[in-house]
Structure 1
Amino acid sequence: MGILSSLYTGVSGMTAQGEALGVIGDNIANANTIGFKASRAEFQDIISKNLKGIVGGNQIGRGVKIGAVNPILSQGNIDATEKVTDLAISGDGYFKVKGSDGESYTRDGSFHFDREGYLVTNDNQRVQGFSTDEKGNIVNKMTDIKFPRALIPAKATKELKLDLNLDSRMEPTKKFDPADPYSTSHYSTGVEMYDSQGNKHLVSFFFNKVNDREWEFKGLVDGKEITGGEEGKMSEVAAGKLMFTVDGKLDSQETTSTNFNFKGGALQDQQVKLNFGDAIKDGGKGLDGTKQYGKNSDLISWHQDGAAAGTITGLSFNDEGTLTAVYSNGQANDLAQIALAKFENPEALFKVGNNRLKESRDSGTASVGAPGAAGRGKLFAKSLERSTVDLATEFVNMIQNQRGFQANAKTITTTDELLNEVIQLKR
C-alpha cells in the first residue's frame, strides 16, 4: 500500500534531521575549543521509486539521509596570550605531534613543557619539529622538541676586537714600564675575555705613541692568573704595534707576542686574535676600527666571542616557529623549529578526539616543512586560534532543523490518521 511508504519517508527525515541537530550540538559544545573547526551536515535524497521504469520522470522519493559531515576549514580568530608556548597557525597547516598511538595532527597550539623538558600538548603528545646543529642552524631532521637542562659548555675567547681612537696630539715622550703601567702609558683601557674553562679575565691594554704614525700596545693581566706570573704584579699576555696613515686611518696592525696561559687547568697557549679593525694593508679601506685623530683617546666599542658556562633562564618562540633559549651567561641559542604539515584534502582527516586528527586514505600524505613555506600557514607566537563556531549561525540552523524534524513528525502522524481511516472501512 503506497501510503505505508510515507511512514518510512517521514522516519528517514526525522533521523536525518536528528543527526543534523547532533552536528549543531557538537559545534555549540565546542564553541570555546581551541583550533576547533565547525562542521556542517549535508543531506542527500534516497533512491526514488520509478513509476515508468527507466523512461525517466514520474519518480517518488523515498526520503533523506546524511550524505556527509564536512568541516568548514575557515580561519579562526587569533587571540594574543601571555604564555610563551602558545602558538597559532594563520593559514593552511597542522602541528605534527607524536604519542603512544603514533603520529597525529592538530590546530591546537596550547603547548607546555613537561617535567622531562619535552614540548607537549594537553594530552601529552610530543610536538615535532626540526632540530639544530652545534652552530644553531636548522637542519632537516624531524625530532621531538626538547630543551636541554644541562649546562651549555664554556667557550674560550678566540677573538678580541677593539675600536678605539688614539689621540694624535700626544707626544712620544713616555717609555712603558710594566711595573708602573698607568703612569708610563699614553692611554689605557680594559676588556674582558674567557679562558677554555669559562673563567673571566680582565685584560688591560696600554698604548704608547712611538712616532707620528706608530703606536705600541701591551696587554697585561694580574700575575696570579697566569702560569709563571707573580701575585701582585702585572703579567704581559700580548704585545704589538699599530701603524696609521697620514689621515688617521689604520694602515696595519701586528701582534708581536702572546702569552694567554691561564692557570686552573685551562688550555695553555690559548690562541686569541687581536683585531683593531679594518686595516688598509689587510685589504680593507681603513674605514672601520681604530683611528688616530686629534681628539681624546677613547674606547668606542669592543667585542669578544667567548662565554662562561650557562644554564637556561628563558625560552621563547618567534613567528617563524623557532625556539630560542636564553642562558645565564648572556648567550642565546636556537634549539628547534616547529614543523607544519599540509594535506591535499584536509577535510578528509580522521578525528580521534583531544583536538587531534589522523591521516586517512582520502586526506593524502602529509607534506611537512617549515612555517610559511610552500603554502603552509604562518605562525604567531604567544597566540591561540579560537574556534570557528558562530553561535548565531548555529542557532538559526538549529531552528531550521527543529522545524524540519517537526514537519517530518507531522508526516508520520498524518499517515497514521489515514491508516486509521482505512481500518475504519471494515466497520
Structure 2
Amino acid sequence: MGFNTALSGIKASADFLSSTGNNIANSDTTGFKKSRVEFGDIYNTSVVGAGSSNTIGSGVRINNVAQEFSSGNIAYTDNNLDLAIDGTGFFVLDVGGTQTYTRAGDFKLDEEGYLVTNDGAYVQGYNATNGIIGGSLENLVVPTERIAPQATENISIEANLDSEAEDMPPYISASFDPSEPDTYTYTQTQNVLDSAGTQHSVTLYYAKSDLPNTYEVYATVDGTLTDSAGTSWLGSTFVTFDEESGNFAPTYSGATAPGVGSIGTLTPFTLAGSFASGATLSSTYDPAVANTLTTPASYARRSFDPTNPETYTYGNTNTVYDALGERHTIGYYFIKQGEQNTWEMKVTVDGEVNDSNGNPFLTEDTVVTFDSEGNISGTYIGYPPFAVANPTQLSITGWDPTDPFAPLDIDLGATTQYALTSSDVFGQDGYAAGELQGVGFDEDGYLTATYTNQQTAILGQIALATFDNTDGLTPAGNTAWVASSSSGAANIGKPGTGTFGSIQGGALEESNVDLTSELVALIEAQRNYQANSKTLETENTVTQTIINLR
C-alpha cells in the first residue's frame, strides 16, 4: 500500500504542477480565470464503524479543480469594440447554435458586419430598428450602408440681442416722389371742383417718417405737387399715432392748423392754391380717414444688405440641408428699431433675401418684441399702428430647391434682450448623407454608430448573463464556459440592470492570475512532487530489503 500512497501523491503533485503551469501560461490571456486544485485524503475501511478509528490513510486524490471567478484588472485599449464588464455578468456567445459565456471582450466585426470573437463566435444582443431596441436575443450586427439625408425642418435660434445697441429705425427720410411707391405708405384720391367749376383729381399721400408712429402727408393736384405759383398745395403736415390711447394727434404747419382730438372729432385740414387760369382751389380733408390704413405695402424703408453690417444690428449664418442633403446657408439678422424693445428680423438663404418668385423668405416687417425684463414677448407683422400679432410660429418656404413648399420653422426659444453683447446658439435637425465612421458601446451596452455627417444612431444593445452558481460553469475553451446542472440556466438581461454589471468600452479584463503567487505555488508543487518521489524511493528500498532476506 505504501507504493500506492506514494503514487497518489506523485499524481496529485503532478496535477498541482499542471494546474499552476496552466495558470502561469495564461497569465496574459484576456478574461482567463485561474484554477485551483482541491485535494482530499483517502481512507479504506471494510465496514462502516468497524475497527479502529485511527486507520492509516491510503494517499491523496483530487476532489475538484475549481476556477476562481474574481475579476481581473481592467486594461484600456484604443479599440472601441474591446469591452470589459464591471460586475458579475458574462458576454453571451453563439457557437454553432450553442450558447457559451465569456468574460473576454476582444470583439471585432466580420465581413458581414456581425460582432464576433476572434474564433468566429457570434456575440449576442438585441438589435434595434429605427433606434428602438428589440426584445429578441440575436446576433448583434452593424449595418454598413450609408445613412440617408434628412431635410432640415426646424431651426432654433436662442439669441441675446444687446439692449444697449444703437437704434436703427426702419424708416428713413426720403425725397417724396408720387411716382415712386416706395416713398409713401398709403394714398387717397378724390375729384374736386375749383372756383371756376373745373374738376381736378386730388391725391393725399401718407409717408412714414423717421419718427416712431409718425406719418407725413403730401398732396398732388392733377399729379403736380405745386400750384401755378410754385407753392406746395399742402404745407408740412404730420399725423402722429398714439399707440397707447388709439388717438391720432395731427400737427400742421403751412396749411390750416386745427386742434388735436380723437379720430372722427378732428378739425379737418385744408389744402389751397391757384391755377394759371386764375381759378382757385380749396379742399378740406378729415384726418379720420387715416383709420382706414392697413399694413403698409411700401414706404421709404431703410435698405437691408446682408453683406453690409451697417444695415443691421446683429446677424449670423449657419447651415441647413435640403431633401437631397445639399448644404444651404441660412442667415438671420436683427435690426433694433426706434420703438422700445422692438427688433425687425430678416432671413436670407444662400445670401438671397428673396425666393425664386421674388418674395421675401420671411414676411416683410416681421418684428420681435421683448418685455420690460428682457424676455421675448412675441412676434408681429408690421409696426404700430399697423402691427398685427403673428398667430403662428415663424416659418419660411421656398428655400429648398427640391421642394418649394417645404416649410422651415424658426423657433426663437429663450431669446433675450439683455445688456450683453449680442450672440446666439443655433440648432437644426437636418443632415447630409453619411458613411459609417465608427461604432462603440456605452456603459449600458448600447451599440452606437457614428457617421461622417456627425450623426449617431443606436444599432442595438449587448446582452449579459449571470448564474445562480458561477462556480458550476464548465470550461469550454477559448476562455468560454457553458452552463451545467450545477451552475443552473443562464439569467440573460441587459447591462446596467440587476447584477449584470456595466460595460466599459475600449477596455479589456486581464487574467486574474497573480503571477507571484503562482510562482510560489510552482515551487510548492515541485517540492511536493520531489517529496512523494522520495516516499516511493524509500518504499522501494524497504521492499528490496525484505526481498533480500533469505
TM-score band, normalised by shorter chain: 0.7 to 0.9
Secondary structure at the aligned position of 1:14 is classed as helix
In the alignment, which residue of structure 2 is the partner of 1:104?
100
Secondary structure at the aligned position of 2:528 is classed as helix
Report the residue type matching 1:170 in the other structure.
D
Secondary structure at the aligned position of 2:362 is classed as strand
**TM-score by structure 1 length?**
0.83
In the alignment, which residue of structure 2 is the partner of 1:327?
451
Asked if the contact 1:49–1:60 (Cα under 8 Å) also holds between the matched residues in 2, the reply is no
From the superposition, tell whether residues 51 and 207 of structure 1 become closer, same or farther in structure 2 (CA, over 3 Å): closer
Asked if the contact 1:350–1:358 (Cα under 8 Å) also holds between the matched residues in 2, the reply is yes
Counterpart-to-counterpart distance in 2, 1:248 and 1:99:
65
CA offset at residue 111 of structure 1? 1.6
Counterpart-to-counterpart distance in 2, 1:26 and 1:143:
34
Asked if the contact 1:170–1:186 (Cα under 8 Å) also holds between the matched residues in 2, the reply is no
Q: 2:429 aligns with which of 302, 305, 329?
A: 305
In the alignment, which residue of structure 2 is the partner of 1:284?
none
Report the more deviating stretch, 18-27 or 372-381: 372-381
In the alignment, which residue of structure 2 is the partner of 1:71?
67
CA offset at residue 57 of structure 1? 0.9
Q: 1:12-161 maps to which residues of 2 (within 5 A)?
A: 12-49=8-45, 53-54=49-50, 57-134=53-130, 136=131, 138=133, 140-161=135-156
Q: 2:345 aligns with which of 210, 214, 217?
A: 217
Q: 1:200 aligns with which of 327, 349, 360?
A: 327
Secondary structure at the aligned position of 2:361 is classed as strand
Does residue 376 of structure 2 align to residue 250 of structure 1? yes
Q: Rg bigger for which structure?
A: 2
CA offset at residue 302 of structure 1? 1.5
Asked if the contact 1:162–1:290 (Cα under 8 Å) also holds between the matched residues in 2, the reply is no
CA offset at residue 68 of structure 1? 0.2
In the alignment, which residue of structure 2 is the partner of 1:283?
none
Counterpart-to-counterpart distance in 1, 2:516 and 2:483:
32
Secondary structure at the aligned position of 2:485 is classed as coil
- Cα deviations across residues 215-236 of structure 1 (Å, max 9, x unaligned)? 443433359999x816xxx653
Does residue 440 of structure 2 align to residue 274 of structure 1? no
In the alignment, which residue of structure 2 is the partner of 1:388?
512
Q: 1:165-180 maps to which residues of 2 (within 5 A)?
A: 165-166=160-161, 169-174=166-171
Does residue 394 of structure 2 align to residue 260 of structure 1? no
In the alignment, which residue of structure 1 is the partner of 2:537?
413
- Cα deviations across residues 260-315 of structure 1 (Å, max 9, x unaligned)? 24555x345223321112xxxxxxxxxx3142x5677x442221111111112233
Report the residue type matching 1:84 in the other structure.
N
Asked if the contact 1:52–1:58 (Cα under 8 Å) also holds between the matched residues in 2, the reply is no
Asked if the contact 1:185–1:207 (Cα under 8 Å) also holds between the matched residues in 2, the reply is no
Asked if the contact 1:223–1:229 (Cα under 8 Å) also holds between the matched residues in 2, the reply is no
Report the residue type matching 1:260 in the other structure.
T
Does residue 501 of structure 2 align to residue 374 of structure 1? no
**TM-score by structure 2 length?**
0.66
Q: Percent identity?
A: 34
Secondary structure at the aligned position of 1:363 is classed as coil
From the superposition, tell whether residues 123 and 164 of structure 1 become closer, same or farther in structure 2 (CA, over 3 Å): same
CA offset at residue 36 of structure 1? 0.9
Report the residue type matching 1:273 in the other structure.
D
Provide structure 1 residue ranges, at least 5 long, that are not aligned to the other structure: 278-287
- Cα deviations across residues 376-401 of structure 1 (Å, max 9, x unaligned)? 33332222222122233223222323
Secondary structure at the aligned position of 1:212 is classed as coil
Asked if the contact 1:214–1:243 (Cα under 8 Å) also holds between the matched residues in 2, the reply is yes
Secondary structure at the aligned position of 1:83 is classed as coil
From the superposition, tell whether residues 258 and 80 of structure 1 become closer, same or farther in structure 2 (CA, over 3 Å): closer
Asked if the contact 1:110–1:122 (Cα under 8 Å) also holds between the matched residues in 2, the reply is yes
CA offset at residue 210 of structure 1? 7.4
Backbone CA RMSD of aligned residues: 3.2
Report the residue type matching 2:322 in the other structure.
D
Secondary structure at the aligned position of 1:59 is classed as coil
In the alignment, which residue of structure 1 is the partner of 2:481?
357
In the alignment, which residue of structure 2 is the partner of 1:344?
468
Higher share of residues assigned helix: 1
Report the more deviating stretch, 54-63 or 31-40: 54-63
From the superposition, tell whether residues 289 and 142 of structure 1 become closer, same or farther in structure 2 (CA, over 3 Å): farther
CA offset at residue 123 of structure 1? 0.6
